[in-house]
Amino acid sequence: MNNRPSLSSSPMGSLRKRRGRNNTVFIAAGVLVLVGLGVLIYWLFQPGRPLSNLIATETPTPTITPSPTNTSTATPSPTETPTATITFTPTFSGPFTYTVQDGDYLQLIVERFALGDNAIELILILNPYNLTEDGFIGVDPTTQIVVPGQVILLPYPGMPLPTATPLPPDLRPGTLIEYIVKAGDSLGGIANLFNSTIEAISTENSITDPNALFVGQLLRIPVNLVTPTATRPPTSTPITPGPGTVLPTATFTPINVPTNPSGTP
């Protein structure tokens, strides 16, 4: 009866001991897991770590109340009066050069510089139309066309026309000379000037309308086609007295001759 085996040596005792060891291992493992989780969580919540950036609350930016500044009222600057544009008026005492611009033509240039009534004729005289190795130069008196970039010589305002050379009397009849139409010219006046005829000048220059001349037009004049007729001075026609004709009477006014103090007339 007293020889029963003890609990510790029985199978049940061994089982209980084994379970006690397992529980200790499990508890130790749980503690280690909890400690590890705590360390991991602590690390993740450190500044700069992923969880820290996700759950970090935005720090409100302090509102800065600006301190009042002493604003000085600017004194208005006086308004600058624009300077009037001065229109250039040439004051040349001699002919001057001009570069033709886009849209220019002779009459416009004359009006721009106020060159006077004879300006177009003077421009044609100052810029004779000639053929050179580089092409035509000057201004064509027939078309009077100028092109942009062309440099021409302009007369100064009020420049007089050159004195015309007298026509030599011994020129052979029909000799052609060139003449530039002036202001106030007519075809009949030009014909009388050169002892020519309106018909001959019209034929030579293909003129269909004798009244369509223009200032600066270049004409070819056949001279000495007619004999000049001397202009007679005006004469008075004598009056033949007739019945009822009243002749003027002369009235004589006496002249008082002063008397010489010595008595001698």
Rounded-to-integer distance, Cα 37 and Cα 30, Å: 10
* 12 in any annotated domain: no
* 180 and 146 in a common domain: no
Distance (Å, rounded) from C-alpha 17 to C-alpha 12? Answer: 9
Question: Where do runs of H (alpha helix) occur along 153-222?
Answer: 187-193, 198-204
More confident residue, 106 or 166: 106
* 10-37 pLDDT, tens digit each: 666 666 666 667 777 788 888 888 888 8
Which domain range does residue 25 map to?
20-54
Whether residue 202 is contained in a domain is answered as yes
Q: Is residue 229 part of a domain?
A: no
Considering the chain, what is the average pLDDT of its residues?
74
Q: Which residue has the higher pLDDT, 197 or 50?
A: 197
| Residue 183 phi, psi dihedral angles, 5° rounding | -65, 130
Tokens of 252: 């004589």
Task: Quote the strand ranges of the chain, DSSP E.
Answer: 96-99, 130-132, 135-137, 151-154, 176-180, 218-222
Q: Which of 5-9, 49-53, 96-100, 227-231 has the lowest mean pLDDT?
A: 5-9
Residue 164 belongs to a domain: no
- By DSSP bridging, strand 176-180 and strand 135-137 are unpaired
Domain stops at, among 206, 222, 238:
222
Question: How many Å apart are CA 219 and CA 236, to the nearest integer?
Answer: 40
Residues 6+ apart with CB under 8 A from 187: 198, 201, 202, 207, 210, 211, 213
Ranges 90-99, 136-145, 159-168: which has the least confidence: 159-168
Say if 145 falls within a structural domain.
yes
- CA angle 253–257–258, rounded 5-degree value: 145
Which of 87-101, 154-168, 213-227, 246-260 is predicted least confidently? 246-260
Q: Which of 57-66, 141-150, 221-230 has the lowest mean pLDDT?
A: 57-66
**What is the Cα–Cα distance from 52 to 69, expressed in whole angstroms?**
42
Structural domain contains residue 231: no
Q: Which of 67-81, 99-113, 213-227 has the weakest average pLDDT?
A: 67-81
What integer pLDDT is reported at residue 210 of this predicted model?
84
- Write the pLDDT tens digit of every residue in 127-162: 988 888 888 889 988 889 999 999 999 999 988 887
Q: In whole angstroms, give the CA distance from residue 8 to residue 130.
A: 147
**Closest alpha carbon to 104 in 139, 76, 79:** 139
Residues 114 and 147 in one domain: yes
146 and 193 assigned to the same domain: no
Question: Is residue 190 situated within a structural domain?
Answer: yes
Distance separating the N- and C-terminal Cα atoms of the chain: 226
Residue 186 inside a domain? The answer is: yes
150 shares its domain with 183: no
* CATH code of the domain covering residue 119: 3.10.350.10
User: pTM of the prediction?
Assistant: 0.42
Instruction: Indicate the number of domains in the chain.
Output: 3
